[in-house]
Structure 1
Amino acid sequence: MEMTSRERFMAALNGQPVDRLPVISVCQHATYDQMEQLNSYWPDAMYNAELMARLAGGAYNILGFDAVRVPFCQTHEAEALGAILKEGGREGLPSVKTHPYNIGDPVDFPEDFLSRGRIPHLLEAIRLLKSQLGDKVIVMGGVIGPFSIAGQILDITQMLKIAYRKPQELVSYIEIGEKAGTMLAQAMIDAGADVIAIEDMMCSLDMITPKIYRELAAPYQKKQIEALSVPTILHICGKLDNIIIDIARTGCSAISVEPVVDVPAALAKFRAEGITTPLIGAIDPVNTLYHGNVEKCREETRACMAKGFSMISPGCAVPPATRIEVLKAIVETVQEAKN
């Protein structure tokens, strides 16, 4: 019997049988082709809830994915905490231009946090997605993880240097990051989000050591996850093999990884520890989705299925120039495997 996208996603998340593996994008999934088809373009779709929901809905309505998610960028919390953004225009995403704090500055959490910047539009977009698609598909809200928000409100280069030498000097900023992400996630849940994706990209082992992850990232991820009433997917970029057990022990419902992670080895470690946390991934977003073609995408999708992923997803944000037919090939390949 064929499952709905909602049923398929939740069954996979809970380790139950599925009719086929779910296909989602844990990170942003908007593309220029979808913008054209839906008449919803950046940057307007980042400031208008109706346009945001319309473009996000393309993941289900056009691509056939089992979840839709907002936002498209990673700057809502940082902007609300005082960062000045550099706009991405029609083809790119906003980024932090000016950091509001230097290390050593006192930090204050704004009482009107949820009313700042584009957050009200983001929450309304979730309400719209829930009302329009919530009976069919998972509505996912994305927040930035505590360590990474700290890396946005501070100069990341200085932050990483201090993390090695005087880690305690960063605690107040990471605490603010946790509070901001948790408050936004709770508001998303109230607006109708079924799942929260936490992107803590800056605590990759490409940037920090396992010791720093365990001391400055994992405890705040765990605190955040415990405060949320819906399933959570934790996404961290890069190589995670030396901390994959630590990530699972944050209590997240699933872990989203990039192609560099040794998935069979990670699952073997999980089995040895009695851990059942699902892994999600990991189609290469650049070499396969952006530079590749339909056949290459099909080949990598089959490889991901063979590795033991519980859900198939791009390994990180979808490059917006990715062609629709390449993304649809993921769903088609999984569907063919079912048949």
Structure 2
Amino acid sequence: MDALTPKERLLRSLAKKKVDRHPVICPGGMMNAALVEIMQKSGHTLPEAHHVDSLMRELAYDVEENTGFENFGIPFCMTVEAEALGSPIDFGTLSCEPKIKVEAFQSVKDVQFKPKGTMAKSSRVAAVVQSLHYLSQKYPDIPAIGSLTGPLSTSASIVDPMTFLKQLRREKEAAHKVIDYVTQHLIEYARLMVDNGATVISIADPTATGEILGPKMFKEYAVFYLNMLTDAIHEMGVPVIIHICGEMAMVKPQIAELHGDAISVDAFVNLKQMKEEYNTLTTMGNLSTYLLEFSNPDTIYKQAKVLLRNNIDIISPACGLSTSTKLKNIQAFTTAIKEE
């Protein structure tokens, strides 16, 4: 097979088709590779790039150019959706990602439902979709990944998270109403991304873990709403990556029920075993971000080769990267994969 472009390689991998080698990516959002070292080198910096599309697209290009990851991944945080739905944001610093200052509502019963079209009116959503449009047009061979915060995590970013998690049990009807409302806005946001050139949508939902929810609620809430969102994106003609944090032991059977085109997991999940147990899964991951931050290039190179030997379909960091991760460590990782 002739060498594929990065876009062709990723899309073929997601479609379970033959590829020349494994893609190596970092999709943005929770899995953001805007390292301090890159920003200091380029002068395209956060937090300014969270707001200004010209800076956002330049920083996304800087990340792709310097790290060796074979994609553009934006935005660089998980707060765009929550801000549009009412929660105020602390936009952080060069080295510290944005976070929710305080959730907009104390209870699922307090949520004030914003109308359809809310996402399109958000200035930060506009910066994201304008960046996707520019990058997808200027660099058509590189996949532009639009990163979404998943339904439960976004819901827990507009409602006090401790209260929200309790109300998943105690106020089911109201909780479902809120998560459905959030999911509809996420579908709207995804459509804006797709209409502006997103090659793939990546959904990260760190609140939707088996450890937090347990098997029954994971199926009732996480699987149901992730599939609702994924199915809507599939109708737009675009594949979906789903990242699930945490240990999988309690919810492993439900993972196979997710409709994502690839499932991304944390470092302590045995992806080789999961791939053997569910041979229809397209697996993604899962090099330890602790290793990437604190180890050395030689060790990282060797661990990357293990992922190749285990035939993980799409190679990526396991979860969110520290912005202080050394660039040489990331480059050792991507080099190991590209030498395949």
Q: TM-score, normalised by structure 2?
A: 0.93
Of 48, 51, 54 in structure 1, the residue corresponding to residue 52 of structure 2 is 48
Question: Cα deviation per residue 1:219-270 (whole Å; 9 max; x = unaligned)?
Answer: 1111111111200000111112333442332311111111111212212221
1:209 aligned residue: 214
CA distance, structure 1, for counterparts of residue 61 and residue 215 of structure 2 = 37
Answer yes or no: is 1:25 the counterpart of 2:26: yes
CA distance in 1, matches of 2:22, 2:272: 17
Q: CA deviation at 1:106?
A: 4.3
1:65-90 deviation per Cα after TM superposition (whole angstroms, max 9, x unaligned) = 22111000000010000001122122
1:153 maps to amino acid: I
One-letter identity of the residue aligned with 2:326:
R
| Equivalent position of 2:67 in the other structure | 63
Q: Which amino acid aligns with 1:21?
A: H
Please give the residue correspondences for 1:141-220 in structure 2 after superposition, counting only pairs within 5 Å.
141-220=146-225
The alignment covers a number of residue pairs equal to: 331
Cα RMSD for the two superposed structures: 1.5
3-state SS, counterpart of residue 185 of structure 2: helix
Query: Equivalent residue for 1:323?
Result: 326
Once the two structures are superposed, residues 78-103 of structure 1 have per-residue CA deviations (whole angstroms, 9 ceiling, x without a partner) of: 00000011221222111111111222
CA distance in 2, matches of 1:17, 1:153: 42
- Equivalent AA in structure 2 for residue 220 of structure 1: Y
Q: Distance in 2 between matches of 1:246 and 1:31?
A: 34
- CA pair 98-16 structure 1, distance change in 2 beyond 3 A: same
Structure 2 distance, partners of 1:326, 1:61, is 15
Other structure's SS at 2:249 match = coil
Return the match for 1:129 from 128, 135, 138: 135
SS of corresponding position for 1:22: coil
User: Percent identity among equivalent residues?
Assistant: 26
> In 2 relative to 1, CA 302–17 (structure 1 residues): closer, same or farther, beyond 3 Å?
same
| Unmatched segments (≥5 aa) in structure 1 | none
SS at the partner of 2:89?
A: strand
Report the Cα offset of residue 15 of structure 1: 2.1
Structural mapping, 1:1-339, within 5 Å? 1-26=2-27, 27-103=31-107, 104-110=109-115, 111-133=117-139, 135-228=140-233, 229=236, 230-271=238-279, 276-286=280-290, 288-336=291-339, 338=340
Residues 272 and 312, structure 2, Cα contact 8 Å, conserved in 1: no
Task: State the alpha-carbon separation in 2 of the partners of residues 187 and 14 from structure 1.
Answer: 23
Please list every run of 5 or more consecutive structure 2 residues that lacks an aligned counterpart in the other structure.
none
Secondary structure of the residue that 2:223 maps to in structure 1?
Answer: helix
Question: What's the CA shift string for 1:14-72, capped at 9, x where partnerless?
Answer: 22222221100132111112112322000111111011011111232222222111000
| Cα drift, residue 121 of structure 1 | 1.0
Distance, in Å, in 2 between the alignment partners of 1:317 and 1:96 is 17
Q: What amino acid is aligned across from residue 295 of structure 2 in structure 1?
A: G
Would the aligned equivalents of 2:149 and 2:204 in 1 still touch at CA under 8 Å? yes
How much has 1:117 moved relative to structure 2? 4.2
Quote the Cα distance in structure 1 between the aligned partners of 2:52 and 2:37: 19
Distance in 1 separating the partners of 2:230 and 2:114:
20
> How far off its partner does 1:190 sit?
0.4
Change (3 A) 1:164 1:265: farther
List, as ranges, runs of 4+ consecutive aligned residues in structure 1 with deviation greater than 6 Å.
Answer: none
Q: Is the 8 A contact 2:51 2:123 kept in 1?
A: no
Amino acid of the structure 1 residue aligned with 2:325: T
Residue 113 to residue 331, structure 1, CA distance change in 2 (3 Å): closer
Distance apart, 1:169 and its partner CA? 3.3
Larger mean Cα displacement after TM superposition, 160-169 or 232-241: 160-169
SS at 2:144 equivalent: strand
Asked if the contact 2:301/2:336 (under 8 Å) is kept, the reply is yes
* SS of alignment partner, residue 23 of structure 1: coil
